[in-house]
Structure 1
Amino acid sequence: MTTITTERATIERWDDVQHSLSGGGDGRSCQCIWPVVSNKDWQATTFEQRREMLHDEIEAGPAPGLVAYVDGEAAGWIRVGPRTAQTRILRTRAIAAATAEALDDDSVWAVTCFVVRREHRGKGLTTQLLRAGIDYAEKAGARLIEAYPIDTSEGTHRSNDLFHGTLSVFLDHGFRRTATLSRGRVLVVRELKGDAAIA
């Protein structure tokens, strides 16, 4: 029986972060830095610089994401954290216009990226990562989570575009659709209880 677990992306798990980001899609080249830099800065960085940026972010803490393991092997990744730390969101006009939450509100978290290695797709890792991401946000004291998934019920979508997640997965986990953004993307939100912040 396959065992799936999740852990916070700490610097001690750096090799696992790198393994989870490789193995399919744009994860390795992106290093999940796309959500935290402007488009201009993104275009100006190399793979090595992005990897160093992610390393520094994880080393500084708190963990900007979680790693999923299948039978102990790193297999997937989710970026989840305060929306204010993911500056591309704040600069995206469609999101800024659609959200009902103040852009400087640290209690609003966001899910912006999923990566699953090819050999582990179809095992429910995205679901497990989202469930763990919700728990992580709640324990950290988040009030609400936003996400910007793809509505795959209409049109066709490249697999590489699905790093945002799919609408159906979010709806299955208590998120509600609040606005249409662009290119098949929608804004979804889920309110949280907001426990005491984790150490």
Structure 2
Amino acid sequence: TRSITEAILRAARAPRVLINGSAQGYYGDRGDEELTEESPPGSDFLARVCVDWELEARRASPASRVVLLRTAIVLDRACGALPRMIQPFKFFAGGPLGSGKQFWSWIHLDDWVALALLPLSDERVHGPVNLGSPHPVTNAEFTAAIGQVLHRPGWFRAPSIALRAGLGEMADALLLSSTRMKPAQALGLGYRFRYPELVPALEAVLRERQASSVRH
């Protein structure tokens, strides 16, 4: 990011917009607090990384309009977290992580792509943009939805202590922290989510996954 920003600042003709990837980790562990783009950052390691990353990108302004994409869990059939989340359910071993009360923000890949491209066509998009569905859910609701779509029970709760033993501090940052993100800028611009609700989004992803398996 620093190299790109410095190139923009040196350029005789800077690009109209710099789109920089960030993450929902910017907000840290915030319980059930609703987090908009105006909310302050968290204080844990991942939050500090995101803050530093965004500060580098912001240096490109005003030469370029800077857009910071704070991405939630992306639902995709092949990549990201979802394929790994599904695996335990196939063996009837899925269930909530820790207390299950932590909020997980999520977004279907189709909505992520549409919102990530929006700054190229709409000059109103600027600054941080929360890329998450308008309906975040708790981890217990998320895992229950996976079980519902896969027709599998979600009885096996993974205790926090076991997750920390296996993953260390990353268990808190990636699995146990609570981020209830609201896509305020996208909604304010009138963006209509293709998949605002979790169960239809999961059903669409799993249909794509099954179709891909048949083709191959």
Question: TM (normalized to structure 2)?
Answer: 0.24
Q: Which of the two has greater helix per residue?
A: 2
- Taking structure 1 as the reference length, the TM-score comes to 0.26
Higher relative contact order (CA 8 A, sep 6+): 2
Richer in strand (by share): 1
